[in-house]
Amino acid sequence: MKYTVSIEIALPLERVAQLLADPAHLPMWLRGLVLHEPISGLHGQVGTESRVVLQTGQQTMEGTETITRREPADLHGIPSDGVVRFEREIVAEGMWSAARERLTGAGPATTRWASENEYRFSGPMRLVAPLMRGAFRKQSLRHMQDFKAFAEHGTDVRGASG
């Protein structure tokens, strides 16, 4: 299953990239995050593996995230092509996913964030997942909207309901 969602954020590209990459901010916008801790490497750097635990309602998902791409590596200054890229893979029981995040300057104070997501399933999830495509897409967009609210207004999902 593959899909792409996108959103515009009213902040410059460099600022959005720095906020998105900072692990201290994850709990503020990643709704349902219980734990995100590096197992090996430094948070956000290519090759780093982290243990990730997310809670959605009564469902808990635990997996291992591996950072597969981060360009530019230091996130300071706008790259020559005007694009910042983050890519990661998550492996959990019965699931593999990849997210390819692309941040592009859409003006001096606006950033366009496109998130291309791919999922592969095994076991019982393989039968159920195609029926849940809309829910996966909706959740990805919700995370992006939560990040936008955090980045633009300082809104923290831990104080929000729903």
pLDDT score at 153? 96
Name all domains of the chain by residue range, CATH numbers in brackets.
Answer: 2-26+70-154 (3.30.530.20)
- Indicate the average pLDDT of the chain: 90
Least confident of 14-23, 68-77, 137-146: 68-77
Check if the beta carbon of residue 92 is closer than 8 Å to that of residue 65: no
Helix 133-153 × helix 13-21 angle, to 10°:
110
Which residue matches tokens 């219980």? 34
Cα torsion angle, 73, 152, 159, 60, sign: negative
Q: Whole-prediction pTM value? A: 0.89
Q: What is the pLDDT of residues 57-112, one digit of tens each?
A: 888 999 999 999 999 877 776 766 789 999 999 999 999 999 999 999 988 899 99
pLDDT score at 101? 96
**End-to-end distance of the chain based on CA atoms, in angstroms?**
26
3-state secondary structure of 34: strand
pLDDT score at 134? 85
Which has the higher per-residue pLDDT, 137 or 74? 137
Encoded tokens for 122: 């095994």
pLDDT score at 160? 61
d(CA 83, CA 105): 7
Cα torsion angle, 150, 154, 155, 157, sign: positive
- At residue 128 the predicted structure's pLDDT band, cuts being 50, 70 and 90, is confident
